[in-house]
Amino acid sequence: MPAIRVIPCLDVADGRVVKGVRFENLKDSGDPIELAKRYYLDGADEVTFLDVVATNENRGTTLDMVQACAEQVFIPLTVGGGIRTLEDVSNLLKSGADKVSVGSAGIRVPKLLADIAADFGSQVLVISLDLKRAGSKSGFGVTLNGGRVLTDLDALEWVKQVQDLGAGELLVNSIDADGTRDGFDLEMLEAIRAISKVPLIASGGAGKTSDFVAAANAGADALLAASVFHEGSISISSVKKSLQDGGFEVR
């Protein structure tokens, strides 16, 4: 079994890292370049950079910020937010991103996902899944625009579809758990793990190191968190130690 990856997430708005609860009441958490460098030095396996207002503002991710981040961080960098075209993907990769995270645009135009996988390879394509409990077949629904709009898509049906379209990884974020620090949505992770053939990144709800171990036990291949790392209440090294103590291999 591959080593479990620990991934700090930088949610960026207007050039600053922000964090809220369930994507609301966003508060400033610092400079994205400084935080990315700190996490790299602290032993992060990857960094994920999400422009959380690009889609709503109908624009692309700020390329100069991505380039500055890539110049400071020598681990895989995933970038998302406002990706709508193959040109957007090409520009991000040229700016230093290793992977792109696509959410809302893929729901609106599923062919975009297949085109990205065909042109750049599935290893580049991370599907951003902002999911919440809903009255759909599986009990989990898919949202658009950073959790603001609930679609009529069933989460598990969409997971099957994006894999057929060429997804390389699934970034599964629980809108209900996001920022609450009450733990990852293990039921959601287990349901998706049961049908997923690609790596699964768990996001939303981390509050203590044991939460990361629980998510790994639920089938996550990588563990993503934001506020607990930004505020220093949990370190990347302490997460890795807990995972090791729980019998998981880490890098």
Residues classed as catalytic: 11, 130
Task: Judge whether 9 and 179 are in contact, CB under 8 Å.
Answer: no
DSSP state of 205: -
What are the residue ranges of helices labelled H in the chain?
32-42, 63-72, 86-94, 104-108, 110-120, 155-165, 186-193, 209-217, 227-230, 236-245
Task: Judge whether 10 and 17 are in contact, CB under 8 Å.
Answer: yes
Closest listed residue to residue 193, CA positions, set 213, 177, 169: 169
Q: How far apart are CA 2 and CA 74, in angstroms?
A: 20
